[in-house]
Amino acid sequence: MIIVGKENLLEMAHKKIDVWAYSFVKSKSNKKNRSCHTRPVRGQIIDNCGHPYFIPYGSKGKLTVSKRKDIYSCQLNISNNEQEAKREYNKLVEKQMKNLQSQMDELKELLFDLKS
């Protein structure tokens, strides 16, 4: 289940249940078409004075507080199921691929035919 809404996120924080966070957002930056993306990663939500943060598990299996992410500024999507997180992440990537293919098709129409 995709978890949305501040109240639901804070409820998950108080229950200390593992969740999966992911993101794939096209950057509005003009530099190198960068994207803000996070592949699905397991962690927990914490309540920091009424504001939810996501903390991923590190390589040793412990929560890595130093890598905490603001759910809203990173535009993270939260799911309580690994497979669902991967499926939804793939949908976001495929949507971006379609957009890029469409842009390429439009650019191809601008090329001159030099065979004549």
pLDDT per residue, tens digit, the chain (116 aa), is: 888 888 899 999 999 999 999 998 876 655 555 567 889 999 999 999 999 999 999 999 999 988 888 888 778 899 999 999 999 999 999 998 999 899 999 999 999 888 86
The residue ranges of every structural domain in the chain are: 2-108
Kindly state the tokens that stand for 55: 């903390």
Position 29 scores a pLDDT of 59
Position 73 scores a pLDDT of 72
Position 74 scores a pLDDT of 76
Single-letter residue type at 53: Y
Position 98 scores a pLDDT of 93
Position 113 scores a pLDDT of 84
Position 80 scores a pLDDT of 92
Which residues have C-beta within 8 Å of that of residue 74, sequence separation ≥ 6?
A: 23, 36, 38, 54
Position 36 scores a pLDDT of 74
Cβ density class 51-60: b for 16+ within 10 Å, e for less: ebbbbbeeee
**pTM for this model (two decimals):** 0.80
Phi/psi at 95 (nearest 5 deg)?
Answer: -60, -45
